[in-house]
A and B are shown apart, each in its own frame.
Chain A
Amino acid sequence: MIRSYNAKMIYNLYIFDKTGKLLFYTEWNRFKQSGMSRNEEGKLMYGMLFSLKNFVTKISPYDMKQGFLCFKTNKYALHFMETPSGLKFVLNTDISAQKVREILQQLYNNVYVNYVTRNPIHNLQDSIKSELFKSKLNSFMKQTHIYLSK
């Protein structure tokens, strides 16, 4: 696969419910698999986020409002958003991506609420299998400023 290393990119998205169940996973660009099943990977990711949240509230010099927002390594950035109902959105992008939080908020408001919460035959505890949600999510991501396929 040929690609330029400085390209703006969205890697993948995880959605967890408040109990830590992986409701939804999708990837646009992923160049390394973690070497475990999706379910296991979800558990590891949730475990990391759970500990990070704990870590962050303890080490913070002041009382927090939103808490943990994102972290960056030298290769990727992980952005995190939690709704008041405990639903967690995790989006991995390249490190140069800006204002990803707003995208996550829009994703929740415009895509998740419209096509998952308002779906009468969907049970909120179940993983999301709706094709409509998938396609709307895809088109939503493709029109964001950080999306660029290789």
Chain B
Amino acid sequence: MIVYSVYIVSKSGGLIFNYDHTVSKVEVEQTFSYPLEFKLVNENKRVIVSFGQRDGIIVGHVLMSVNGISLTGQQLDDGKDVFEVLENSENYPVSLKFGRPKMTTNEKIFLASMFYPLFAIASQLSPEPKSSGIEILETDTFKLHCFQTLTGVKFMVVAEPTDIKLDVLLNRIYELYADYVLKNPFYSLEMPIRCELFDQNLQLLLEQVEKSGLANI
């Protein structure tokens, strides 16, 4: 059982806790000859593939390094502009590393608050009366399990796609939240969770789940 990440969203829809357990790395490094068969653009301070596809590099991947030199924005660490380097045929063959973009903290906050209305609309469009919001969201690469407490706090676990129900795990995380966050006198409700004990115990729990499954937690 692989758990990718855990999110906790407060009742007003803000992200108050996030923990990435298994970090997936999708990176491809390859040597290219002139002309480059990709169209690259600078978007949100990252150089992104906007057209073209080859050997696992697809639209949306981010350029991470050129000849082993990493880049910030569109500037290489040795001061050159990445587009100028790639336009000049004398620089070829060139070794480029592409990868799936990592989520920034801002994106995580944005996504967590995006889940809130989706959850509400799912229950509004229900063909059955008194439906809850989204409990399980399935895709081909992961499954998101969501548990909402009576007070409206949402716990979300992103895990690999299996048929196993993660209710036990979500309940255990809730227990940890009650024990180490709510009972912490320095914690105020709705605020981001910064509790060392909670972090430690959550990590321990997830490691246990990874090793021996959900049977004995």
Q: Which residues of B contact A70 (CB under 8 A)?
A: 137-138
Is the pair B132, A32 in contact by a Cβ cutoff of 8 Å? Answer: no
Is the pair B135, A73 in contact by a Cβ cutoff of 8 Å? Answer: yes
A36-62 Cβ-contact flags toward B at 8 Å (1 or 0):
000001001101100110111011111
Is B122 at the interface (CB under 8 A from chain A)? yes
Is A78 at the interface (CB under 8 A from chain B)? yes
Q: Whose C-beta in chain B lies nearest to the C-beta of A41?
A: B125
Is the pair B140, A67 in contact by a Cβ cutoff of 8 Å? Answer: yes
The smallest beta-carbon distance between A101 and chain B, in angstroms, is 10
Is the pair B158, A61 in contact by a Cβ cutoff of 8 Å? Answer: yes
Q: With the chains together, A45 CA to B130 CA distance in Å?
A: 18
Q: Whose C-beta in chain B lies nearest to the C-beta of A11?
A: B127
Is A75 at the interface (CB under 8 A from chain B)? yes
Decide: A60 near B142, CB < 8 A? Known: A48-B122, A72-B135.
yes
Is the pair A51, B118 in contact by a Cβ cutoff of 8 Å? Answer: yes
Give 12 CB contacts A-B under 8 Å.
A31-B128, A48-B125, A51-B117, A54-B114, A58-B103, A58-B111, A63-B100, A64-B140, A64-B141, A68-B138, A72-B138, A76-B128
Q: With the chains together, A67 CA to B112 CA distance in Å?
A: 18
Q: Which residues of A contact B5 (CB under 8 A)?
A: 61
Q: Which residues of B contact A51 (CB under 8 A)?
A: 114, 117-118
Is A27 at the interface (CB under 8 A from chain B)? yes
Is the pair B141, A75 in contact by a Cβ cutoff of 8 Å? Answer: no
Is the pair A74, B131 in contact by a Cβ cutoff of 8 Å? Answer: yes
Decide: A65 near B114, CB < 8 A? Known: A44-B125, A78-B122.
no
Is A66 at the interface (CB under 8 A from chain B)? yes
Q: Which residues of B contact A (CB under 8 A)?
A: 4-5, 22, 24, 26, 58, 60, 100, 103, 107, 111, 114-115, 117-118, 121-142, 144, 158
Q: Whose C-beta in chain B lies nearest to the C-beta of A77?
A: B136
Q: Whose C-beta in chain A lies nearest to the C-beta of B115?
A: A55
Q: Which residues of A contact B (CB under 8 A)?
A: 11-12, 27, 29-32, 34, 41, 44-45, 47-48, 51-52, 54-56, 58-76, 78, 92
Is the pair B144, A59 in contact by a Cβ cutoff of 8 Å? Answer: yes
Q: Which residues of B contact A34 (CB under 8 A)?
A: 124-125
Not counting A44-B125, A75-B132, a sample of 12 additional A-B residue pairs whose C-beta atoms are within 8 angstroms of each other reads A11-B128, A31-B127, A32-B128, A45-B125, A58-B103, A62-B24, A62-B100, A63-B100, A71-B138, A72-B134, A72-B135, A76-B126
The smallest beta-carbon distance between B105 and chain A, in angstroms, is 13
Per CB-CB distance, the 9 closest pairs between chain A and chain B, nearest first, are A11-B127, A75-B131, A61-B24, A75-B128, A32-B129, A74-B132, A72-B136, A30-B127, A71-B137
Q: With the chains together, A52 CA to B133 CA distance in Å?
A: 13
The smallest beta-carbon distance between B110 and chain A, in angstroms, is 9
The smallest beta-carbon distance between A89 and chain B, in angstroms, is 16
Q: Which residues of B contact A58 (CB under 8 A)?
A: 103, 107, 111
Interface centre among A34, A48, A51 (most CB of B within 10 A): A48
Contact pick for B126, options A32, A55, A62, A66, CB 8 Å: A32
